[in-house]
A and B are shown apart, each in its own frame.
Chain A
Amino acid sequence: MRKTLLYSALILLSALFIAPFYWTFMTAIKSTADLYQFPPVFWPSEWHWENFAAAWNKQPFGTYLTNSVIVVVFSTIGQLISSSLVAYGFARFRFPGRDPLFIVLLATMMIPWDVKMIPLYMEFNMLGWINTLKPLIVPAYFADAFFVFLLRQYIMTVPMEIDEAARMDGANAFDIYWRIHLPLMMPALVLVGTFHFMNAWNDYLGPLIFLNDQSKYTLTLGLSMFKGLHEVDVTSIAAITVVLCLPPLALFFVAQRYIMDGAVGSSVKG
């Protein structure tokens, strides 16, 4: 009885979350005739798969895709390495200045992007990085405060005894990070990797400000160009939106297995 209620609630709620997505997909695949029907057409009379190819060829989306992939892959690698190192440093050591530094780190999370955007543009300009992908990649190698905080909170739920036992066995600080905390953190790392992937993939303001040439554009910028170029081309916008959503979705399907493994619980038990 309780389960039935629970599942009914879940089905209803999930419908609310899926409906807009379903709607976008159907918009992408509808014929123009179905598009402006009222009441709306929930199941298109004809399936126009060629809408996707048509939308894709309206702009150099292949180039945009390459740029997006380069940014996402290299920045994710940097983010995972740097954020986990820093999180371990803050979670497991006592050192002069730790607490003030950590407060500074938290404070950096609260800095509105507006504060940094203009001076950052000037800094990257001085380095000759404007209109390259570097401003979108390099900062990821210097740890993101958001992810450091998340990983530190995660490390702190692991009992100190595990570290002490390893130290007794002769492990040094890096061993403990590499062999104990990194594997234990795996669910949180997958979470961080997934979040960072989404952020980098979906980032709009960064590419908008740092990139000028169309040959350097990422997919989101291409999609926003669509809004400008073809204001009424609802089908193409929907089609590109669907394409844009596929990689993060695929990643999420792979990642959720790790997220749900609950590695921490099982390791602490042993």
Chain B
Amino acid sequence: MDMTYAGAEPKVARRKRSAIAHYAAPYLFISPWILGFLFFTLGPLVFSLTMSFYDWPVVGERTFVGLDNYRSMLFDDPQFWESLWITVKFAAIYVPFNIIMSFLLALMLHNITFASGFFRTAFYLPSVISGVALVTIWSWIYSKEYGLLNFMLSLVGIDGPNWLGDPNLAIVAIIIASLWGLGGTMLILLTGLKAIPKELYEAATVSGVPGWAQMLFITLPMLGPMLLFTFITSIISAFQQLTIALLLTKGGPLGSTYFFAMYIYDNAFKYFDMGYAAAGSWVMFIIVLLLSLGVMRWSAAWVYYEGEVRQNDGEGHA
């Protein structure tokens, strides 16, 4: 059959078929995610939500308890509030530091030519290391007697503290170890910087726009989508902080690094109270969701999508 032969097919049939293709196409493109969502996300979610309304031990009788898990968590369990507070503190420091430091490093790398590949690799190197390995390395660095960090401090005459043994310092130690892996965020922002058309800067320079104004009115808005992305993913990873704390400090000393994710983990795999753990994970889910939606809404003021704006010209905005 010869599809290129115009007029071989009645016009109406052709239009109808292309109309079906037109409506089906987007759903076909997103179908892998829809299927995955149903089988690997929604199904498990419904299951875990159900569990959260039960007293659900791993072995033995399950009993429906309604909202009891949530109620006793919020009102009778001080560990819930303590671990939540530790996680909020961690996020409040980690998220801004992660983004600002990544942005500054990306900006520095974007402004050099000689050896930029070397420095980029250097900053990314830690992100290559797995959680298990990262923790092993940092436990040697923080060691009070043999540690690299305290040796460095001794060179400038400071008697190094017991990083992982001091309740005030342990969380700082975890923040530093986490920030060590900012290479991924930096790489995303650097990719975004490279994608900004150079013409914008050339035009601005010709028109006499000073550097700080170019930063404010070209770089930051054009980087908006990438900044938003890193902002949200940083919040999420901060709230799910588990591996480092679990392996480096085990929640101690004195519960000072007992993160919310660890609280859930312990309830599930230490106390085998699956229903209670499921309820805790749903509380975390809702907090993170609300925070992220808040950031998304707020971002409408400063994120600029080139594609989206063009679309609006013709069709208006939903």
Q: Are A93 and B188 in contact (CB under 8 A)?
A: no
Contacts of A158-179 to chain B: CB distance below 8 A: 158-161, 172-174, 177
Chain B residues with CB under 8 Å of A195's CB are 184
**CA distance in complex: A202, B126 (Å):** 12
Contact digits for B294-316, partner A, Cβ 8 Å, 1 yes 0 no = 00100000000111101100010
| B91 CB, nearest partner CB in chain A, Å | 13
**CA distance in complex: A45, B201 (Å):** 53
Q: Are B121 and A86 in contact (CB under 8 A)?
A: no
**CA distance in complex: A263, B37 (Å):** 32
Contact digits for B231-254, partner A, Cβ 8 Å, 1 yes 0 no = 011001001100100000000000
- Asked if A220 CB lies within 8 Å of chain B CBs, one says yes
Q: Are B137 and A20 in contact (CB under 8 A)?
A: yes
Q: Are B122 and A256 in contact (CB under 8 A)?
A: no
- Asked if A119 CB lies within 8 Å of chain B CBs, one says yes
Contact digits for A113-124, partner B, Cβ 8 Å, 1 yes 0 no = 111111110110
- Asked if A182 CB lies within 8 Å of chain B CBs, one says no
- Asked if A55 CB lies within 8 Å of chain B CBs, one says no
Chain B residues with CB under 8 Å of A9's CB are 108
Contact with A245, one of B37, B108, B128, B229 (Cβ below 8 angstroms): B128
Chain B binder among A58-66, A69-77, A142-150: A142-150
Contacts of A120-150 to chain B: CB distance below 8 A: 120, 122-123, 139, 141-143, 145-146, 148-150
Q: Is the interface of B mostly helix, strand, loop or mixed?
A: helix
Contact with A146, one of B126, B233, B282 (Cβ below 8 angstroms): B233
Range, interface on chain B: 35 or more
Q: Are B140 and A139 in contact (CB under 8 A)?
A: no
Contact with A101, one of B21, B30, B199, B274 (Cβ below 8 angstroms): B30
**CA distance in complex: A120, B127 (Å):** 27
Contact digits for B93-129, partner A, Cβ 8 Å, 1 yes 0 no = 0000000000001001101100001111111111111
Given contacts A9-B108, A109-B233, A110-B285, contact A86 B184 (CB under 8 A): no
Contact with A21, one of B125, B226, B268 (Cβ below 8 angstroms): B125
Range, interface on chain A: 35 or more
Known: A10-B119, A20-B138, A85-B29. 9 other contacts (CB 8 A): A18-B122, A86-B29, A114-B265, A141-B36, A155-B307, A160-B311, A161-B310, A244-B133, A252-B121
Interface set of A (CB-CB < 8 Å, partner B): 3, 6-7, 9-10, 13-14, 17-21, 23-24, 27, 36, 38-40, 81-82, 85-86, 88-91, 93-95, 98-99, 101, 104-120, 122-123, 139, 141-143, 145-146, 148-150, 153-161, 172-174, 177, 187-188, 191, 195, 198, 201-202, 204-205, 220, 223-224, 227, 234, 237-238, 241, 244-245, 248-249, 252-253, 256, 259-260, 262, 264-265, 268-269
Listed A/B pairs (30) with beta-carbon separation below 8 Å: A3-B112, A6-B108, A6-B112, A10-B108, A14-B119, A14-B122, A17-B123, A21-B125, A21-B129, A27-B140, A106-B292, A115-B278, A115-B285, A120-B40, A123-B44, A142-B36, A142-B37, A143-B32, A156-B225, A156-B307, A157-B225, A160-B307, A177-B29, A220-B130, A223-B132, A244-B130, A252-B128, A256-B117, A259-B191, A260-B117
Interface set of B (CB-CB < 8 Å, partner A): 21, 23, 25-30, 32-37, 39-41, 43-45, 47-48, 51, 105, 108-109, 111-112, 117-133, 136-138, 140-141, 145-146, 148, 151, 154, 180, 183-184, 187-188, 190-191, 194-199, 225-226, 228-229, 232-233, 236, 239-240, 243, 261, 264-265, 268, 274, 277-278, 280-282, 284-285, 288-289, 292, 296, 305-308, 310-311, 315, 318
